[in-house]
Structure 1
Amino acid sequence: MRRWARSGATRDRGSGSILAVAILGALFAVTAVLVPVLALLPAKQLVQGAADAAALAAADTASGLMPGVPCEMAARAAELNAARMTGCTVRGLIATVSVAGSAGIFPIGSRARAGPAP
């Protein structure tokens, strides 16, 4: 009877090591997926900041606070913030600007609107 108990116990030897390797592998896989995804968050904020600055530049130019053409000023503001302007519309004193940037191979876009307070 003791022989059966011993042989069953010896078959389980080393299973903890296999479990530890499996857990470490799963942890590595999750980390490998999450790191690039989390790297997109600051890049998205940078592109949103560029869109905000471009919209403010266009609205300031449209209202006469700055000389120039509103959409040209918006493109320059986006460029200074490491983004490129993809669209610009000005209706009255309200400017809507779309910009694009990238984080590695992922394209990121954002839109912003600026103008006088309602």
Structure 2
Amino acid sequence: MSGTAGGRRAVGDAGSATVLAAAAVGVLVCLLGLGLQLGAATLARHRAETAADLAALAGAREAVRGADVACARAREVAAGNGADVADCAVEGWTVTVITTYPCRCLPSVSGEATGRARAGPVAVGGPPSGRARVTGGDREVNTPGRAEGGPG
């Protein structure tokens, strides 16, 4: 008979499995809380970036009307996505927007995620009209709608 001395049970081991199980459950609960916190922070960051992207695009669309109109439209679109515009800059037709989104994590932890985006016309000096390089290859193909001549 293992664990007994003369028919008696060893006193030192009684309940040790319960303590280890409780400690393991405590560690798992802490890891779950950390995972939820990281997930909430990541979600807030993605929402801040999405709001910044959409706000910058909306602002760039209105940039021809002036910086005030462009930034007002960017603020309106960001607010529609639950974010606030921390900064809006218009340079020519290019609009740069920085947004903040509240991190709705655990009640004891608060903060804001930040997103940044820039939108405007395509810079001069891109691929030649009608030609584009295929990623990962050496073959050139015609860009739809810009080809001069025929397919090729």
Q: TM-score, normalised by structure 1?
A: 0.81
Task: Tell whether 2:33 aligns with 1:32.
Answer: yes
**Residue 101 of structure 2 aligns with which residue?**
101
Task: Give the superposition deviation at 1:29.
Answer: 1.8
Runs of 4+ in 1 over 4 A off after TM superposition: none
**Whole-Å separation in 1 of the counterparts to 2:91 and 2:36:** 41
Task: Give the superposition deviation at 1:73.
Answer: 1.1
**Residue 42 of structure 2 aligns with which residue?**
41
Matched-pair identity in %: 32
Task: Give the superposition deviation at 1:97.
Answer: 0.6
**One-letter amino acid matched to 1:111:** R
Secondary structure at the counterpart of residue 5 of structure 2: helix
**Residue 5 of structure 2 aligns with which residue?**
6
**5+ residue gaps in structure 1?**
none
Q: Which whole-Å deviations, capped at 9, do the CAs of 1:50-88 have from their partners, x for residues lacking one? A: 100110011111146xxx811111111111111111111
**Residue 78 of structure 1 aligns with which residue?**
78
Q: Highest relative contact order (Cα 8 Å, sep 6+), 1 or 2?
A: 1
Secondary structure at the counterpart of residue 13 of structure 1: coil
**Whole-Å separation in 2 of the counterparts to 1:18 and 1:79:** 50
**One-letter amino acid matched to 1:46:** R
Q: Which whole-Å deviations, capped at 9, do the CAs of 1:16-42 have from their partners, x for residues lacking one? A: 222111111111122223212211222
**Whole-Å separation in 2 of the counterparts to 1:28 and 1:103:** 21
Q: TM-score, normalised by structure 2?
A: 0.65
Q: How many residues align?
A: 113
The structure with the greater share of residues assigned to helix is: 1
**5+ residue gaps in structure 2?**
105-109, 124-152
Secondary structure at the counterpart of residue 89 of structure 1: strand
Task: Give the superposition deviation at 1:99.
Answer: 1.1
RMSD (Å) for aligned C-alpha atoms: 2.4
Secondary structure at the counterpart of residue 69 of structure 1: helix
